[in-house]
């Protein structure tokens, strides 16, 4: 599977701790090393912002600006040279506005535009090693990240649903239910339609993912992933139209309750991703901490297999600090698989020798130590 998407140059200007940083990757796998505080994760975060409004840190835009920047916000920027669909593009984002009203400006070849269909980025962060013990929204977010990487339209559906949900809550919080009854009917109907599409997309993807688990290591169990939301379960038994009508009824019934609580008590985003070991049907959260980390790796491998199966090649991978919580054996397996699929992957580690000194990887990994002054303008 030849990848269709790669970054051939990255430039950061006044981004977090970086005054200026330039990287010109020459291989599919880029390992960014450097001491703690050097800004390794900042590099990966800057890439994630092209596929998410707030990046993988959910940061405020004003937090991205280097602390000592004096001058206009035009001196801040993230600029990429990107190769995709046999073409080269200049892609960048900057900021405009005052401190509390900062907005992101995206451009492709210096034309303002949206990047929703341009980038598909999947990331694995250290906190994901505790995913099975975390909150349902974290597991749902992990699932949505995978689905979004395989279906460009899915990201738009999630955004549409969020906008509708927020508009409905705004009306309910202002106690404007009676005079906006018909408009609420319209919003709730749209929420039900978009919500069913979201549920169905998750279901279809999980079906593919469950078929892509393979035994890659004796320590990695075979898994079965399920959704436990009311609408998700209904879709397994009833037609989509029936589920849409159910959602409409529940939303209408909960208007007063939602106005008091300030949240949507019945929603397709109340679902949780449940993980079971196939043979014993033991739930993932009941395994040891070490075993849970292995389970996350197993899901990652099945995701890579799913990408190959559906011939999805325009995905970038960001793996932040995975060496700190994974056995080297598993990291080798992951790098082998990523290299086979030719997916451009950006990784971080404090030291480069943990993987780069392994003979078979020397020719496959572009090692960049950002403590090296060749890559950046020194901080004053």
Per-residue pLDDT of 5-37, as tens digits, reads 899 999 999 999 999 999 999 998 999 988 888
Domain identity same for 140 and 261: yes
Domain identity same for 145 and 291: yes
The region of weakest confidence among 47-56, 98-107, 208-217 is 98-107
- Give the CATH number, domain containing residue 207: 1.20.1050.90
**Final residue in a domain of this structure, among 311, 329, 353:** 311
Q: State residue 151's pLDDT score.
A: 86
Strand partners, 31: 347, 367
Domain identity same for 284 and 373: no
| Cα(361)–Cα(349) distance, integer angstroms | 15
Domain identity same for 87 and 3: yes
How many domains are there within the chain? 2
Domain identity same for 65 and 94: yes
Most confident of 70-84, 241-255, 266-280: 241-255
For residue 125, being part of any structural domain is answered with: no
Domain identity same for 169 and 230: yes
- 311/282: higher pLDDT: 282
For residue 51, is it left (φ>0), alpha (ψ between -120 and 50) or beta? alpha
End-to-end, the C-alpha distance of the chain in Å comes to: 45
For residue 310, is it left (φ>0), alpha (ψ between -120 and 50) or beta? alpha
What is the DSSP annotation of 136-181? HHHHHHHHHHHHHHH-HHHHHHHHHHHHHHHHHHHHHHTT-TGGGH
Mean pLDDT of 261-275: 92
Per-residue pLDDT of 174-203, as tens digits, reads 877 778 889 999 999 999 999 999 999 999
**Final residue in a domain of this structure, among 288, 311, 334:** 311
pLDDT category, 310, cuts 50, 70, 90? confident
Identify the domain containing residue 292 by its residue range: 131-311
Domain identity same for 146 and 260: yes
Domain identity same for 206 and 112: no
pLDDT category, 361, cuts 50, 70, 90? confident
* pTM for the predicted model, two decimal places: 0.88
For residue 236, count other CB atoms closer than 10 A to its CB: 11
Domain identity same for 166 and 296: yes
């Amino acid at each position: 599977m030849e990848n269709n998407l790669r970054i051939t140059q990255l430039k950061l200007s006044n981004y977090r701790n970086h005054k200026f940083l330039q990287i010109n990757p020459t291989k599919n796998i880029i390992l960014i090393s450097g001491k703690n505080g050097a800004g390794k994760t900042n590099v990966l975060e800057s890439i994630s912002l092209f596929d998410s409004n707030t990046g993988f840190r959910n940061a405020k835009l004003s937090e991205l600006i280097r602390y000592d920047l004096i001058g206009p916000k035009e001196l801040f920027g993230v600029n990429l040279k990107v190769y995709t669909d046999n073409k080269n593009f200049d892609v960048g984002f900057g900021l405009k506005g005052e401190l509390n009203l900062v907005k992101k400006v995206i451009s492709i070849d210096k034309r303002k535009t949206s990047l929703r269909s341009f980038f598909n980025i999947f990331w694995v962060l250290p906190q994901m090693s505790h995913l099975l013990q975390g909150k349902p929204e974290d597991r749902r977010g992990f699932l949505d990240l995978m689905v979004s990487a395989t279906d460009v339209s899915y990201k738009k559906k999630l955004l549409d649903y969020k906008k509708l949900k927020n508009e409905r809550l705004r009306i309910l919080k202002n106690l404007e239910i009676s005079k906006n009854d018909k408009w609420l009917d319209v919003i709730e109907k749209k929420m039900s339609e978009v919500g069913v599409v979201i549920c169905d997309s998750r279901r279809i993807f999980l079906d593919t993912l469950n078929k892509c688990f393979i035994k890659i290591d004796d320590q990695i169990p075979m898994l079965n992933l399920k959704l436990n939301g009311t609408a998700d379960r209904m879709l397994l038994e009833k037609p989509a139209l029936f589920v849409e009508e159910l959602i409409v009824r529940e939303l209408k019934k909960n208007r007063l309750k939602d106005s008091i609580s300030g949240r949507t008590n019945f929603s397709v985003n109340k679902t949780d991703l449940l993980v079971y070991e196939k043979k014993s049907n033991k739930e993932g959260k009941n395994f040891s901490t070490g075993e849970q980390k292995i389970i996350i790796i197993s899901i990652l491998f099945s995701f890579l297999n799913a990408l190959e199966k559906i011939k999805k090649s325009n995905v970038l991978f960001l793996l932040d600090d995975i060496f700190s919580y994974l056995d080297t054996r598993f990291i080798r397996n992951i790098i082998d698989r990523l290299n086979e699929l030719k997916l451009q992957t950006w990784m971080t580690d404090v030291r480069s020798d943990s993987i780069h000194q392994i003979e078979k990887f020397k020719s496959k990994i572009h090692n960049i130590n950002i403590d090296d002054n060749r890559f950046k303008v020194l901080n004053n």
